[in-house]
Chain A
Amino acid sequence: MNESTKLQLAPWVATIALFAFWEVGCRLFQIPEFILPTPTASIAAFFQYFYAIMFNAWFTLWVTMVGFAIAVVFGLFLGVLTGASALSYAALYPILVGFNAIPKVAIVPVLVIWFGIGAVPAVLTAFLISFFPIVVNVATGIATLEPELKDVLRSLGARPLDILFKVGLPRAMPYFFASLKVAVTLAFVGSVISETIAGNRGIGYLMLQASSSFRVPLVFAGLITVAVMGVGMYAIFALIEKRMTGWAFRGQGRA
């Protein structure tokens, strides 16, 4: 087996090993199902409640994606603003950091008061939790522009906007796409939190219902579904990253 096949197989082997460890542990120590169900029981629950899970997973997925899309637009905008101007960086950064430090769980009830139960609080929570890494990364990408390069361009009479569009933004793209991978998984955390606290649909809501009736295998089936969706979106954005910013991955098996 050569190196690249090994690398391709590694994540599958590790995941299967984790599930096997979990299964064996549960059986060996005879852990009751309502405390920690085995993976096989969880997967059985997944198929038993397949339609309910799919219905709610679909809801969670689109809610997350809408929140994430807003986060991308907003994060890119704020990132460019704080990265390109030292003044707006100084003005906005403390606010952003403070805002990011607020537990989003605490905001959900407020959002419910404002917008009622349903998709809107979940979309907003997904947005609020995921825009910060995008802002930070885009701002870093733009702010770390080599001063020499800036001098070269300024001495040509380049306008600040030229420098931003010709150099700053392209340069920030690897940072931007790297942050998308992180942000999209965070967005799932946000929407599921919101659904769990105040929802009437979605995986979070399903898990809450299941745990209140002690159907713990179903709870774990929900958790695994969220994890799979998160990994899937991560993979999609990793692929887009490679496509868009191949120049930043030189000599690492460029696709």
Chain B
Amino acid sequence: MSELFVVGISWRTAPVAVREKLAFREEELEDTLRAITRELPVAEALLVSTCNRVEVYGVARPDQDATAAVRAFLAGRRGLALASVAEHIYDHRGDGAIRHVFRVASALDSLVVGEAQILGQLKDAYAVAGAAGTSGPTLGRCLERAFGAAKRVRTETAIARGAANVSTVAVQLAHHVFGDLRGKSVLVVGAGKMSRLAARHLYTSGADRIVVTNRSLAKAEALADEIEGVARPWEDLEALLAASDVVISSTGAREAILTRPLFKKVMKARKRKPMVVVDIAVPRDADPEIGELDGVYLYDIDALERIVSTNLSEREKAAEHATKIVEHEVGQFEQWLRTQGVVPTIRALRDKLTAIGDAEIGKARDALARKDMTAAQQVELLQRTVQLVINKVLHTPTTALRAADPDAAAHMAAVVCELFDVTPVEGEGRDSASALAAGEVPPIIPMHPAPEEKSAP
């Protein structure tokens, strides 16, 4: 029987130095997937390669273990000796693999629990597998159920609520004050790395204009180029502040540069329009007193990190509820998967019975065509046809029951009773199994009386 498997590395098992060696570029994915299904005992495959994980999700060919081959393939494909990365690679099979896929989709296995990107990345990977022709019914169904589980987790739990990093908090804060950021201006004071991230995040969230100012104009220009902003000289600070709605400050100054007297003038100049000040410098750039001014919303690094920390701990709490949802969805999928094992049997049984029915109906039709029949004769023909179908259907199982040894016959009889929902007639001290084994099979399809008999007085 085919088995789902997962082989890969993630932030849990490998540092970035290893992950980047095994990572695949987007344009390599389709060829790699085709190679996996062509060269390895893998029937269906999907490859997800992000900054935090490189994983192959697949379905092995019937009765074959594909994980060892996929491990070797991943290392070989990147030109690495398997031994050099073996300790970082993990694999899961069967239920473990299904659970892993569902947890990844629901961002329960992410570095930042509840982050939104992984679901989109998995959907992209699924689309690539579809384009490469390596996604099949089992993997497809698994991914779709995993996406459904992820949606439930996001809507029914608090796992994705609250900003999970400092720059997201800054954006959230700006949204609370201004709503739409279109038409808003962002001033970056200083050229620190954190302010670059926050400014970029604000820009992608809709802010119109980013201005950078720094004591060194050259550094301001370099940062402005990087984040599509405009550099302005340090001497213009007061005017720049008055024209800005969001200020991100991260200079290396030893003393506060955003002081209360400066901000009183600034707020007067901007007619007390609200202003968000995000101070991510240590030591702080902003005098805490400016946060008391009407219209000024000041958040320093401590406040930002406290919010992030609270949100992350809330997410961790929500993860418990999310895990229950995932387990339920995994159970549902496993049940579906189990039924897939008997589908060929059901199909074969249906085909055989249809063939028997078709053959007998054909004979009955020929008989009807050969001579005129009275209504009573037609009913008799119908009864005979049905009886013949029943006999043919039951011939093989009845023969098998009779031929089986008593223990096996009893088991088979019990299965027959369960499958056909029949209760054997107990008689003369014999149990049902032996009665069945002896061929005394009660009619499974009850014979209805002929219409004439029914209407007879």
- Say whether A and B bind each other: no
Q: Which A residues are closer than 8 A to B by beta carbons?
A: none
